[in-house]
Amino acid sequence: MSERTSEDSPASPLNQGHIFSGSREEMSKIPLLDLRPQFERLRDEIGALVLGVLDHGQFIKGPEMMELEEELAEFAQVDDAVTVGNGTDALQIALMGERVGPGDAVFVSGFTYVASAGAIQLCGATPVFVDIRPHSFNMDPDDLETRIKRVKDAGKLNPKVVMPVDLFGLPANYERILAIAEAHGLTVVADAAQSFGGTIHGERVGSLAEVTTTSFYPTKPLGGYGDGGAIFTTHPDKAEVYRSIREHGFPAGDRSSAVRLGLNSRLDTIQAAILLAKLRAFSGEIQRREEVARQYDSRLEGIVELPLRPEGVTSAWSQYSIRLEARDAVRAALNANRIGTAIYYIKPLHLHPAHESFSEGPGSLPVCEQVSRQVLSLPMHPDLAPEAIDRVCDTLIDAVRSV
């Protein structure tokens, strides 16, 4: 995986470019993300589980990988979870499982990390970018419907999959998206890289669509200490296909012949051990993220546009992202006060050179384009202290009033 900057992905660790902070001289810094306190909390559990792997020596497909898959499935309230090498591979394997290939159209939210489009193009398929709703930042079901009809009318591509993205941790509007997909005979492959831990009416992300992928990149709500990902499915036969694709297309328990095209994308046992320790603390961390978000909400209401909270939906709070006109000036003021922020995303998918040929260029996704000029992510992690949140809010409120 190539290097990322804080400008291009929620996956980027910190503005200062490393995951751990906390040297004495840096006490007044409030980073976007600080994973050091989490490590201090879980140090013994993580250490014991990692040592266990070093002792038994099954570094690939060891018992911790199987255990993690069982606990992930249980957490997500689905029959099966298949771990893979990273969240991008999870998307690609899920698409390969649907036999997505050249001539197929995959409808994807236009406001997301480039990996969502990359996985589609790597399958040889055509991404069709769908505009977002201005307040949820998630796929606009009306625009989805319009674009499916347009592709059907043009008659050149075969509409096959819808890929909603749960941006910043907020589950997309699955009720409408699933209905539209069903009406047009499309499968939903949900990119939940940022939303594992979120719910709709009490139902967990992972169980909201037939196929859901997530990422365990260190900065995601459930993050490891390296790359990792998983695919959740409610379909009885699909998990077996994913397990085969992640291992060169071999069927279960038989390495004599590869029965389909596959890749090499397993989750290391050591990484699985780390994630097991973190998963066991995850519910409490999601609760803490919710408390952080509520403190921001109460301080910033009426001052900037707050993240939307649709009825019955809970976010995993991968990011706490506000919208404001004077974004760049306010960001500079926060930066001057040693408060870390990030812009996810500086540009929508259709304006990246790697993806623009699949779009009609600037102006073709107006909401994505406008939001990308106004969005700003504030410090968010389970160990963010109430006093730190207050300092972020004080600084932000001053900045908004003085621009």
Ligand X SMILES: *Cc1c(COP(=O)(O)O)cnc(C)c1O
Residues that bind ligand X (CB under 6 A): 10-11, 86-88, 112-113, 115-116, 165, 191, 193-194, 215, 217, 227, 229
User: What is d(CA 232, CA 251) in angstroms, rounded to the nearest whole number?
Assistant: 19
Closest approach, Cβ 10 to ligand X, in A, equals 5
Sort 242 into a burial class: Cβ within 10 Å, 0-12 / 13-18 / 19+: buried
Residue nearest to ligand X (CB): 87
User: What is d(CA 242, CA 237) in angstroms, rounded to the nearest whole number?
Assistant: 9
* Closer CB to ligand X, 190 or 333, in the complex: 190
Closest approach, Cβ 224 to ligand X, in A, equals 10
Closest approach, Cβ 192 to ligand X, in A, equals 8
Closest approach, Cβ 303 to ligand X, in A, equals 27
Closest approach, Cβ 115 to ligand X, in A, equals 4
* Closer CB to ligand X, 193 or 334, in the complex: 193
User: What is d(CA 386, CA 343) in angstroms, rounded to the nearest whole number?
Assistant: 23
| Token pair belonging to 127 | 């991404």
Do 269 and 62 touch, CB atoms closer than 8 A? yes
The set of long-range contacts for 201-207, using a CB threshold of 8 Å and a minimum separation of 24, is: 201/312, 201/313, 203/77, 204/75, 204/76, 204/77, 205/76, 205/166, 205/171, 205/316, 206/72, 206/73, 206/75, 206/76, 206/77, 206/78, 206/81, 206/232, 207/76, 207/77, 207/78, 207/232, 207/234
User: What is d(CA 112, CA 115) in angstroms, rounded to the nearest whole number?
Assistant: 8
* Closer CB to ligand X, 29 or 266, in the complex: 266
Closest approach, Cβ 323 to ligand X, in A, equals 19
* Closer CB to ligand X, 116 or 374, in the complex: 116
* Closer CB to ligand X, 162 or 165, in the complex: 165
Closest approach, Cβ 172 to ligand X, in A, equals 11
* Closer CB to ligand X, 8 or 330, in the complex: 8
Closest approach, Cβ 155 to ligand X, in A, equals 30
* Closer CB to ligand X, 75 or 168, in the complex: 168
* Closer CB to ligand X, 169 or 400, in the complex: 169
